[in-house]
């Protein structure tokens, strides 16, 4: 069993590794966790002692297979809870992240197995992010940022990179959600 803080660090490193494809600097982790690099170094050393990360001074940290499995499981629980909150309890997609942050640390694997089955084993959360399967495998999809689509080009919204409540509410005002077919007529910037 791991602490809430340890699980959150593993999750942050998991996300950062997928963005950078390699070792993650303590500064990047600190920025992601909104904490000091010295605090990150302390936690990384604890995680290394538990064989959850490999840490190389001045290079950064990388999850071990055990660390990846734990991180993927926390992410799986988080995203399943988001689906449940939106689909079954009628929460809006901009309301579920903080609640799922709390629920993701529930330790009962039987509960998560039943939740997954109850939801029909969804592949994606309400924001379009892939849900790791019970083995920790993420489904990969081809995506292109809306900002990269040229005027008159068409696409379908399959996910959102920014999931702050302000941004999701902005998308709602524009009538854009997962599955929305889009034709780019012009571009404007979100400054929320």
**Whether 34 contacts 67, CB under 8 Å:** no
Tokens of 65: 């297979």
Q: Report yes or no on 173 lying in a domain.
A: yes
Give the pLDDT of residue 99. Answer: 97
Mean pLDDT of 91-108: 95
Q: Report yes or no on 79 lying in a domain.
A: no
Mean pLDDT of 159-178: 84
Instruction: Reply yes or no on whether the pLDDT at 9 is more than 80.
Output: yes
Give the CATH number, domain containing residue 15: 1.10.10.10
pLDDT band, residue 192 (cuts 50/70/90): low
Q: Report yes or no on 175 lying in a domain.
A: yes
- As a whole-number percent, the residues of the chain with pLDDT over 90 amount to 61
End residue of a domain, out of 63, 95, 110 = 63
Tokens of 28: 């990047």
* Rg of the chain in Å (alpha carbons): 18
Q: Report yes or no on 74 lying in a domain.
A: no
Q: Report yes or no on 102 lying in a domain.
A: no
**Whether 63 contacts 53, CB under 8 Å:** yes
Per the structure, how many domains does the chain have? 2
Convert the pLDDT of each residue in 54-75 to its tens digit: 998 888 899 999 999 999 999 9
Pick the range with the lowest mean pLDDT from 71-85, 116-130, 168-182. Answer: 168-182
Tokens of 99: 């609640």
Q: Report yes or no on 84 lying in a domain.
A: no
- As a whole-number percent, the residues of the chain with pLDDT over 70 amount to 99
**Whether 99 contacts 117, CB under 8 Å:** no
CB atoms inside a 10 Å sphere around CB 115: 19
CA 178 centroid distance within chain: 16
**Whether 116 contacts 77, CB under 8 Å:** no
Q: Report yes or no on 108 lying in a domain.
A: no
Give the pLDDT of residue 185. Answer: 87
Mean pLDDT of 143-171: 84
Instruction: Reply yes or no on whether the pLDDT at 21 is more than 90.
Output: no
Domain around 25 = 4-63
Look at residues 79, 57, 58, 87 and name the one whose alpha carbon lies nearest to residue 11: 79
In the block, which residue shows the tokens 């005002």? 173
Q: Report yes or no on 120 lying in a domain.
A: no
Entry pTM: 0.83
Using DSSP, state whether 58 is helix, strand or coil. Answer: coil
Give the pLDDT of residue 141. Answer: 74
Residue 28, C-beta contacts closer than 8 angstroms, at least 6 positions apart? 16, 20, 60
């Amino acid at each position: 069993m791991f602490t809430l803080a340890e699980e959150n660090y593993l999750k942050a490193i998991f996300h950062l590794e997928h963005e950078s494809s390699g070792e993650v600097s303590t500064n990047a982790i600190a920025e992601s966790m909104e904490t000091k690099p010295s605090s990150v170094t302390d936690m990384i050393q604890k995680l290394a002692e538990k064989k959850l990360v490999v840490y190389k001074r001045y290079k950064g940290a990388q999850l071990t297979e055990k660390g990846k499995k734990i991180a993927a499981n926390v992410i799986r629980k988080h995203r399943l809870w988001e689906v449940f909150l939106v689909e079954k309890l009628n929460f809006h997609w901009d309301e579920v992240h903080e609640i799922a942050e709390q629920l993701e640390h529930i330790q009962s694997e039987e509960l998560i197995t039943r939740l997954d089955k109850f939801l029909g084993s969804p592949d994606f959360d309400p924001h379009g992010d892939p849900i790791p399967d019970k083995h920790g495998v993420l489904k990969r999809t081809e995506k292109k940022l809306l900002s990269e689509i040229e005027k008159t080009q068409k696409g379908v919204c399959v996910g959102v990179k920014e999931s702050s409540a302000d941004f999701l509410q902005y998308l709602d005002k524009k009538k854009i959600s997962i599955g929305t077919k889009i034709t780019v007529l012009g571009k404007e910037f979100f400054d929320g």
